[in-house]
Every structure is written in C-alpha cells, then in structure tokens.
Structure 1
Amino acid sequence: IKAAKEKDCKEAELKLTEADRFLAQAHNAQTDMLTKEANGEHAQMCLLMVHAQDHVMTAITFRDLAGEIVELYKRIEDK
C-alpha cells in the first residue's frame, strides 16, 4: 500500500506477489495439518495453534484488502 501511495505501482505489485508466495506456504502447511487430522493423526490443540490460525486468516484478509487499495491507487494515478 505504501508503495502504491508513493506512485510506485510496480513495487506494490511485487510486494503483493511476495505476500501471495508466503501465504501459499502458510496455506500449504495448514492443508498438510488438516489432511493429517482427517487421516487420524491428531495434533495437540493449544492456544498457540489457535493464535497461529487467527494470524493466517488475518493475513489473508489484509492481503485481499491491500490488493484492492493498490488497484484504487492505480486508478487515481491513471486519471
């Protein structure tokens, strides 16, 4: 968002792509844990696991919002 605000849309897009890569890694780890759970390999649930899940969901939401804001800055710059 900061890069888009500073009219560096190329950098903003690179940062969004980087975020996508990290979120894909987090999603893959989460999917692996869910698959193991479904196959009977139960993980010990603790507050840390719940907190981590909360962070992943928040990061995904923020990434989506950041993408929308970058698009708005692009539209402003194009006018």
Structure 2
Amino acid sequence: MDLENEVMELIANAGYARSLVFQAIAVAREDHDFAQAESLMEQAREALSVAHLTQTKLIEMDEGSGKVPVHIIMVHAQDHLMNAIMLTELGNEIIALHKMINGQ
C-alpha cells in the first residue's frame, strides 16, 4: 500500500464530503430545495464512507503496534475526517431546521 496516496485519498474524500454538506445547507437555506439538499447529503455520506474505509485500512495496517509512521499529514488527514463527520451530523440538523422553518 502506498501510504502517501492513501492519506491523500482520505483528505480528498473528507474534503469533498465537507464541501457537499456546505452545498446542501446552502441549497436548503437559499432555494428551499430539500430534495436537492438530501441528494447532496447522500453524496457527502458516500464520500465520507470512502474516507472512513481508507482510515480503517490505515488502522488495520498499523495493527496498534506503530507500524505506520505518524507524520503531520496523517494528523491533518484525521482532522479532516473528524471535521467532515461532525459537519455531516450538523448539516443534517441544520437542514431539518430549515425544513421546519419552511413548514415541511
């Protein structure tokens, strides 16, 4: 496994998920298009799933024994993933609030 490519894949997918969530929130707020917002959220969840699978591969490769060297880029990747997970959860709540405000 090419460690650098795996880490970059994690960052890219987590970042893509984050972008999709922000798009979904904007669509819900500005256009009140909740079907489109949900579609964007589903895409975000899919990207997040890919990022999480990459993280799982890295954890399995390490086996808890320090086999994988921890570099700042790995810390950065983990930060991206955790932020994307939290934002996805908050995005669901924000969209639900926009639905309530708009009587849906």
TM-score, reference length from structure 2 = 0.71
Matched residues, number: 79
- Matches of 1:41 and 1:14, distance apart in 2: 39
- Matches of 2:53 and 2:78, distance apart in 1: 13
Q: RMSD in angstroms over aligned alpha carbons?
A: 1.6
* Larger gyration radius, structure 1 or structure 2: 1
Question: Identity of aligned pairs, percent?
Answer: 34
* Structure with larger RCO (C-alpha < 8 A, sep 6+): 1
- Per the TM alignment, residue 39 of structure 1 is displaced from its structure 2 partner at its CA by 7.1
**Residue 60 (structure 1) aligned with residue 85 (structure 2):** yes
The residue that corresponds to 2:68 in the other structure is 43
TM-score, reference length from structure 1 = 0.91
Indicate which of 16, 24, 27 corresponds to 1:3: 27
Following TM superposition, where does structure 1 have runs of at least 4 consecutive aligned residues deviating by more than 6 angstroms? none
- Matches of 1:4 and 1:61, distance apart in 2: 18
What runs of 5+ residues in structure 2 fail to find an aligned partner?
A: 1-24
- Matches of 2:35 and 2:47, distance apart in 1: 19
